[in-house]
Structure formats: structure tokens, C-alpha cells
Structure 1
Amino acid sequence: MKGVGDTVTYTLSGPHAEYFEVINDQLKLKDGISVNYEANETLTIAVQVTDSGGLTATQTFSINVADVNDAPSAINLSADSIQDGLEGANVGQILVSDEDSNESFTYSVNDDRFEIVDGLLKLKTDQSIDYNSEPSVDIQITVTDSGGIEYTETLTIKVGGIILDTKSFSENDAGASIGNLSVIGLDATSSLIYSLSGEDARFFEITTEGVLKLKDEFQADYERDASYEFKITVVNETGDSLTTITTVTVEDVGPSIGESQSACLG
């Protein structure tokens, strides 16, 4: 459309026109603008050309965005404390923020007392940490994505945690009390506030006295689920908190003599 010596003007429109400009007859991204494959795989823009005589032509373009490997951007833990003096204690699952979907990672930790197994940060089997000598531990976790990009973050692990004095209970006992909770490593001058989270948390509750129990309408069945895992979080009056992953097990209870006889006679 552009003739020799003719001048043209360009007008951009469409859902992604704000990202682009035309400089010296070349369509380009504006300075400071970048695009993300995970947000938009295709950009659509309409270009209208107007010559010096007022004639116009318009064409719509679909521009494909090439996918590139994005670097991991953050590391978090599903829980942030370990029990005082417990060898091999679990800390929590490593949660990595990365814009690439279905990304896989390898992990390393700079403190030889710890290891990462299937994404779970934990103390090695023969290692424990004493709250009185080390109330918290700073560790560096490095994640490497499938494209070889590394990201390192320093995380603080609190030593002490939430202690449940009994971690097993009998099946077929609706609303059963499981054990008493106590806290090490969190200062409190008034009552502590507990909460539960995780898929299995819906079956449990914590009383105002700090007792973990089954909800009144729920009774466990060993044959259905032999254990339950959930997170317990405790918060003090200043907003400081601890979160611990807890597993409780269900004790198999055999049928009574009367039940056995009925089963045999039936």
C-alpha cells in the first residue's frame, strides 16, 4: 500500500494493542513491556494503515508467544517447626512458586543435619535439635527446575513445636479424645489459639482446654483409614505462630465375644 515517497500512519487496536507500537514500519513491544506464555499463549492485534491520501487498510494478526523456562521465584514450607529433641523429626513439605505448570524440581539443603525426601524437609534419622541450645535454625534450600535454573532461599525453622502427648486412639468411638496439646518455643502470657488444616482436619477439633479430639459425629474405622495427617497451628496474643504436621493412628479393636458368636451363628 505504501508507495515511493508516500507516508503512512499506523493505528493499533485489539485486546493486546496496548503492548505494541510501530517504529520505522516495524511492529515491536513497547519499552518495558514483556509477555508471559503462561498468561497469554497468543496475542491478537489489529493494524490499520492510512496513507497520505486517506486510504486505509486493516489486518488482524495473531502473534504466538514462545514458551521459555521461567525461574522458580519463591520457596515456602507447609510447616515451620520441629519437635524439641525428636530424632528424624519432619518439618514440612517444600512448596515452590514457579510460573511453569507441571514443573519438576530437585532439592538440596546446606545444613547436613537435614535431608529432603520426596519434597519433605526433615531431620536425618540420627539427628535431633535441642530447643535450649538452638531455639531456631536458619537453613538455605536450593531448588533446581527441569531446565537447570536454580533458586535459593533462606528459611527459619523454629525448634520446639506443638506436642501431642498421645498419638493413637481406638476405632468405633465417636468424639473420642486423643491427647493433650502443649507448646514449646512460643511465648504466651494468655491463652493460645489453635487451628487445624489439611484434608483430614475436618474430622478433628481442639477444645478450649487444648485437647485434640474427634468431632462428636465422627468415629474412625481402622479398616477404612489407619492413620490421619493434618497441620496444627498455634498463635499467641502477639501474632507469633508455630505450625506442626501431626499424624495420629487408629488402633484396631477386635469384635467382642458376643459379636464374634453372632457372626459365627449367623
Structure 2
Amino acid sequence: LTFKLIDDAGGTFKLVGANAIQLAKPVDFEKSPTKTVTFEVSDGKFTVVKSFTINIADVNEAPSALTLSNSRVAETAAVDTLIGTFSAVDPEGDPVDYWLKDSAGGTFWIVDNKLYLNDTLNYETQQSYSITVVVSNASGSFTKNFVISVTDVLETIVGNSSSQTLNGGIGADKILAGGGNDTLFWERRRRPSLRRIRKWHYL
């Protein structure tokens, strides 16, 4: 007998040897739980064509495609501020668990699938933090790194009537020097110029 595979389900299967078939590419139960193949068999005199349905067995797979709804937080945010919500794709739609593998030294924490602030922030000290999040189910886990950006908040530095040295940082500052003979310092990533300073007010 001579066998021919005349419909290989879009290249999913291939004929091996005289009368066996083998997977030619990966299959996915969630996309297509069955495949249909068609064979032709001949003895040189008569030919028979028949189709077969092959059932794909479902396998519980690890979650994937982990995302975070928001990755920015203001430097003035209070401890326990909600930053964002994690979402992951589980092929079978099963419940998943989220946990922090690297919390940036305890700066953040997770409850269910929500990321919270666990420490005070200062834009002038650190502008971003890297965290590592793991999402898992009974079959495996998926790990992804995220960068949480700290946003600058305008800070007001107030002097008095005496002569003082008032220091700003690399972020946005509002300096109220008062009536003394004051010295102002501020930090910039580039050399400052009058055009780069937003407003001057003389009293």
C-alpha cells in the first residue's frame, strides 16, 4: 500500500516513513483544539481517500505578557499610595499570583495584583527604581523587569530676613529668599544660564 498525505492541516503534519505522520510545527489548543488531515491510500489498483480529526490535548501553560497600568509616581506620594495594576495573560484563564522578586530595597510592595509605594521618595536623590515582578500559576512562572519613574514636584524653599544660603536641587524649586543678602545655590545637569531659569522676582 502507498500512503499520501494530501491535506496536512496547513503544514501542521508531515508524512514520515511509509505510513506515519509527525508534527511539523507547534500546535496550540487555545487557538485550535482540533486539526483535520486527509490521506490517500492506494494498492496500485484502487484508491481510497479519507479524512481524520486529530484532537489536540490541552496542557496547562505558564502565564505570560505581564504589563503594568502605570509606572510613574510623584516624589510627594505617601506610603501605601497605589501606583498601578498588573495584568498577565494565562492561556487557560486560570488564576495567577503576583510577587516581587526585587522590590528595590523594600521601596514597593504588591497586594494581589496591585503595586503600592512602601517608602518615601525624593526626586532630587533618585529619579527611578527598577523592580522585578513574577507572575505564576500551577504550571510555571513568568518574570519581567519594570522601571518606576519618580516625577518631580515643585518645592518651595523659604528664607527669612537675615542673610542665608538657600540650596535648590536638580528638580523644580521655588526659592523665596526674603530680605537678607542671600546666596542661592541650585543643581543642574547642565550649566545654568538666565534663559534656563524660569522666573526671577526682585522685591
TM band (smaller chain):
0.5 to 0.7
Residues 60 and 92, structure 2, Cα contact 8 Å, conserved in 1: no
> What one-letter code is carried by the residue in structure 2 that aligns with 1:137?
Y
Structure 2 residue aligned with 1:79: 70
Q: Distance in 2 between matches of 1:48 and 1:116?
A: 58
Kindly report which structure 2 residues correspond to 1:27-106, keeping only aligned pairs within 5 A, or say none: 27-30=21-24, 33-51=25-43, 53-87=44-78, 88-98=80-90, 100-106=91-97
TM-score by length of 1: 0.52
Q: Extract unaligned runs of 5+ from structure 1.
A: 3-7, 164-184, 187-266
Q: Extract unaligned runs of 5+ from structure 2.
A: 155-170, 173-203
| Bigger Rg, structure 1 or 2 | 2
TM-score by length of 2: 0.67
Shift of the alpha carbon at 1:113?
2.3
Q: Distance in 2 between matches of 1:122 and 1:54?
A: 75
- The correspondence for 1:138, drawn from 130, 136, 139, is 130
- The correspondence for 2:3, drawn from 6, 9, 15, is 9
1:116 matched to 2:110? The reply is yes
Q: Which runs of 4+ in 1 moved over 6 A?
A: none
Q: How many residues align?
A: 151
> Which SS does the other structure have where 2:6 is aligned?
strand
> Which SS does the other structure have where 1:102 is aligned?
coil
Q: Provide the aligned C-alpha RMSD in A.
A: 2.3
Larger relative helix fraction: 1
> What one-letter code is carried by the residue in structure 2 that aligns with 1:64?
N
1:226-264 per-residue CA deviation (whole Å, 9 max, x = no partner) reads xxxxxxxxxxxxxxxxxxxxxxxxxxxxxxxxxxxxxxx
Kindly report which structure 2 residues correspond to 1:1-266, keeping only aligned pairs within 5 A, or say none: 2=1, 8-13=2-7, 16-24=9-17, 25-30=19-24, 33-51=25-43, 53-87=44-78, 88-98=80-90, 100-109=91-100, 110-111=102-103, 112-124=106-118, 127-145=119-137, 147-160=138-151
